[in-house]
Amino acid sequence: FLLLRFALGIQKDPSLGEVEPKQTENTYESSWCTWATDLSSCPFYLLCTMSASRDISHLPAERRGVALTRSVMLGRQHQPGLFEGILGPDSVNLTFISRSHLELNEVETGNFMMRNLSQNPVVVKGSQQVAKEQQSFLSPGDSIEFIAGSDLKCFLRFRLEQTEAQPRVAVPVPTAPTFWLELDGSAVRDLPLEHRRVHPQVGFQGPQSLAVGRAFQHELHQALNEEALAWVSREHFRIEVDGHGHGIFTLVALSSNPMWRQRAEELLTMEKHDILPLERGDRIWLYTGASDGQPSGPGHKGTIVWTFCT
């Protein structure tokens, strides 16, 4: 009977309701890939080129891209459905994408300043790790990698693309950070070294001054025990950079609580508004309540030490 139906070209009764496999696949795909954007209206955009969770090679650019205007926020809150689509709705890596993860601002045509807003670091240009509140600069062809795990392995990669040939404006290469601070001491909970580093803001004129205190490194200071944190001011100290490129750094005390600059075996006390020069390897001790007024005397609540690095 079936052979007879085939020979006569009789069509299957549509009431049987059989669904073709291809339709099932498309229905499944649309359920997790809900993001779509128009990339033709913007000359520059971010394109996802690698996902550790899914094969995205078949997805059109508008399903895995983000159009870049003069200022764009990147994160699960700002591109709903994008990260679920390219990672998968059940991917554990979604937890490493913050609601507001990155901010990109165009400083010149095709040149973007990227600032990390998340406690989860990213890697720019394949090697430059950018932690929270740090900045980097991107041009077409540069990549942003989202990383996770103890080995900081890349699970998602975007590349800055341009839709068509655009006139490029030559801009000065931003100066790399020339110094940073590393937090240590018995009051600090166990954190990887890269999460205990603080860098200054960087621009085309070089690194800016760096202010340290609860008002500036909120999440990092939460790594201190509560008793020691009570002795940290909102604006505790500032490191200033010589604006003439001479590599001269100074430490300015901003808190009413005492602090110390240690150089080798020498320990100098600093009070509010005191200024001392800084050199590589100098250590900055903060007072935490010791009865003898020393950084690690009787009754202290744990030591807080910043090391100046260049």
- pLDDT band at 217; cut points 50, 70, 90: confident
| pLDDT tier for residue 13 given thresholds of 50, 70 and 90 | very low
pTM over 0.85: no
What rounded mean pLDDT belongs to the chain?
83
Q: What is the pLDDT of residue 34?
A: 78
What does the pLDDT look like over 226-249, one tens digit per residue? 999 999 998 999 998 875 556 789
Q: Which residue has the higher pLDDT, 213 or 6?
A: 213
Cα–Cα nearest to 44, from 190, 215, 167: 167
Is residue 124's pLDDT more than 50? yes
Residue 211 has pLDDT above 50, yes or no: yes
Asked if 144 and 158 count as a contact pair (C-beta separation under 8 A), the reply is yes
Write down the residue that tokens 């003898």 correspond to.
292
pLDDT greater than 60 at residue 121: yes
